[in-house]
Amino acid sequence: MEFTKNIIFDITILFSFLFFVDILMFSNKMKTKYLRIITGIIFGFITIFFMINTSVIHEFDTKSILISIIALSFSSTTALITTGIAIAYRIYEGGEGLYFGIFSIMVALSVGLVWKKYFFKQFSLKLFWDLYIFGIIVHIFILLSQFAFYFPDNIETFKETFVPVILIYPIVETIIGIYIFKNKKTRDLQKEFEYNQKRYQTIFDNNPIGLFQYNNEGVIQFVNDSFARIMHVDKEDLVDFDMKKLPNKNLVAELKKSLEGESSNYDGFYISYLSKHRFYTHVKFTPMISDGKVVGGIGTMEDLSELIRNQKKIDKLIKIDLLTNLYNRQSFESFSLNKISKKILPITIVAGNINSFSIINEMFSYEEGDKLLVILAKIFKSFTNKNILAYRTNGDEFTLVMNNSILEDGNRIINQLKQKIKTISFHNINITLSFGLAIYNNMNNNIYKTYNEAIINLKSNKVYENSSFSKKTIDIIMTTLFEKSERELKHSQRVSEISALIAKELNLGTAFYNKTKLAAKLHDIGKINLDQSILDKPGKLNEEEWLKVKKHPEIGFKILSSVREYLEIASIVMSHHERFDGMGYPNKTRENNIPLASRVIAIADSYDAMTQARPYRKTITKEEAIAEIKRCSGTQFDPNVVKIFVENVADKIQ
């Protein structure tokens, strides 16, 4: 009976331990590792206090509850330090039962640590039963541990202590454990709340989107820096502002929806009531609801002015041709796919295409070609108004879409365009365009079909106009080349004369003779885009310059092939630097795959180059040149043509 009274007294003192638990749990400002050490030291001295002030009967006191619940509830570091201090004090006390006292402390620690690692919260038990079973297990081990050491009255002690220890200690341990774990949960919730509060505040303050919180009256309570910056107003001037008094009725209507519990949005231009700053914005109102009532809301505001400006730029990039600033092909196709209003019928489509534009690019470079496109685009744009739109529908093609017009209007515009185009001064070339037109007046048809009709009409006109233009252009190209370099003029004349002599000896007819002579005259037309400094360079060409020169057969082909009548001439010019052994350029064509006229021109060209003065090398005699041509027979030159040249032509060259 006395033992039971002592236990009850000890338990009453034990509950004071909870006071220290509260203090340590809710004042953990320091780093965790230091807190664990300090907590272990404090609990160690508390354990000593209980060991001094509670009753001890055969080493049974409340330290078993204290140490086991600390091992279960706190870190291993804390539990080990507490246990170490308790053992140190027990050793200091000494006396009978020292070893059992130390052993019982270690048993309490071990059971607590093992239970925490392997059993605690591993089963679907309520906290009460989990702790209660733990308390029973701890004290069964404590009771049994006394048999590890021999005492004469072990059995009597076991009988005397079993019922109170097994009945009372686990319940006390359970109550203390529940209190500690509930406090831990409260502490964790408080920590989580504080963390979330700081996190929310950080997000709120540093969010690039404007944020504001308002009460159930629509009065602003908090704003972040971004909101104040968007509004061009100081934060202090925005707090306590009643948004329902704003002059923007649409925005106020969306605010009122949120105060009724509905999320709402406002999109549009907004003028700040306080700063008069005007901008395009997106505002979202989200209600805050507590216990089924709207207590206020959170608002977000974005300044979309830059986005709108960028969108307009993107729309322009999508619709506008960047070079000419006219509407582009995609824009034209979008128009053709849209439903056409009867109000703008009939529609006349005028299409214009630059004649021999590829020649212009090859002659003067693509940069110069772009300049011509810009000049022409300005002319087409000068005819635009609310009823006429101008498009660049292809690389060298422009189109006018004329609403409420007839064919006579289209023809009149074409004549005016031609007159303006005649005034263009572009490298002494008369720029011309071929035109076609068609009319759309049937809603059942696709307007794209009308555009195709205009293109067909254009192509039929281009057959004559383009050929006529190209022949004139080729004459201008040759004149320009010869003006650049008198040496090129004389060289072309001599090569043409020598080639004509060889062609005559081949006796293949007048047609072969004429085309060989003409091709020889035009064989270096591709040099038109070479700088004069390269054409008349006094020294040897460097690698970069030589690569440019080697391109002239291909460029010549592109220029000449733009004229239908010159297609065969173009092929001859393309191959005049090919070698009989296939080691020439540009295509490494060999033997009879090289046009015969090209094989003729190759000999004439080489002979003239060797016998005429060049700035970078000495001339050689006629005999030396003939010897060199004979040496290269079968490799560079066609042996049959070489034989005719040597035997029948060389003596006739002046």
Q: Is the pLDDT of residue 542 over 80?
A: yes
Cα angle 186, 189, 192 (rounded to 5 degrees) comes to 150
Tell me what percent of the chain is helix, strand and coil, each rounded to the nearest 5. Answer: 65, 15, 25
Q: Which residue has the higher pLDDT, 193 or 551?
A: 551
Q: Dump strand ranges (E) for 160-251.
A: 210-215, 220-223
Domain at 576, CATH number: 1.10.3210.10
Both 344 and 283 in one domain: the answer is no
Among 462, 477, 510, residue at a domain's last position = 462
Both 334 and 405 in one domain: the answer is yes
Q: Tell whether 92 is covered by a domain.
A: yes
Tell which residue, 542, 641, 639, has the closest CA to residue 601: 641
pLDDT digits 0-9 by tens, 80-118: 998 999 899 888 888 777 877 788 889 889 988 998 888
Q: Tell whether 580 is covered by a domain.
A: yes
Rounded mean pLDDT, 602-608: 94
pLDDT digits 0-9 by tens, 295-313: 999 999 998 888 878 877 7
* Spatial contact of 139 and 169, defined as CB atoms under 8 Å apart: yes
Tell which residue, 615, 613, 589, 614, has the closest CA to residue 602: 589
Residue 74 sits in which domain range? 2-189
Both 279 and 299 in one domain: the answer is yes
d(CA 358, CA 325): 22
Specify the pLDDT at position 580.
96
Specify the pLDDT at position 58.
44
Both 358 and 214 in one domain: the answer is no
Q: Tell whether 472 is covered by a domain.
A: no
Both 304 and 324 in one domain: the answer is no
CA-to-CA separations, 294 to 5, 252, 260, in angstroms, rounded? 58, 17, 7
Both 182 and 223 in one domain: the answer is no
Q: Tell whether 471 is covered by a domain.
A: no
Specify the pLDDT at position 154.
60
Both 493 and 642 in one domain: the answer is yes
Cross-strand partners of 440: 347
pLDDT digits 0-9 by tens, 555-593: 889 888 877 778 899 999 999 999 999 999 999 999 999
Please tell me the least confidently modeled range out of 12-21, 131-140, 159-168.
Answer: 12-21
Both 301 and 336 in one domain: the answer is no
Sheet containing strand 293-303, strands side by side: 220-223, 210-215, 293-303, 278-290, 264-271
Rounded mean pLDDT, 411-428: 91
Omega cis (within 30) before 346? yes
Q: Is the model's pTM score more than 0.85? A: no
Q: Tell whether 202 is covered by a domain.
A: no
Among 285, 308, 331, residue at a domain's last position = 308
Both 265 and 161 in one domain: the answer is no
Both 611 and 549 in one domain: the answer is yes
Domain count for the chain? 4
The number of residues in the chain equals 654
Q: Which residue has the higher pLDDT, 442 or 398?
A: 398
Please tell me the least confidently modeled range out of 132-146, 194-208, 369-383.
Answer: 194-208
Q: Is the pLDDT of residue 188 over 80?
A: no
Tell which residue, 437, 285, 227, has the closest CA to residue 353: 437
Task: Give the range with max mean pLDDT: 55-59, 300-304, 337-341.
Answer: 300-304
Q: Tell whether 468 is covered by a domain.
A: no
* Spatial contact of 440 and 347, defined as CB atoms under 8 Å apart: yes
User: Largest Cα–Cα distance in the chain?
Assistant: 151
Q: Tell whether 196 is covered by a domain.
A: no
Measured in degrees and rounded to the nearest 5, phi and psi for residue 214 equal -135, 160
Both 406 and 304 in one domain: the answer is no
pLDDT digits 0-9 by tens, 266-281: 998 888 888 888 888 9
Q: Tell whether 147 is covered by a domain.
A: yes
Domain at 328, CATH number: 3.30.70.270
Specify the pLDDT at position 272.
86
* Spatial contact of 283 and 254, defined as CB atoms under 8 Å apart: yes
* Spatial contact of 595 and 572, defined as CB atoms under 8 Å apart: yes
Quickly count: other Cβ atoms within 10 Å of residue 615's Cβ: 10
Both 326 and 356 in one domain: the answer is yes
Tell which residue, 258, 266, 244, has the closest CA to residue 289: 258
Among 462, 497, 519, residue at a domain's last position = 462
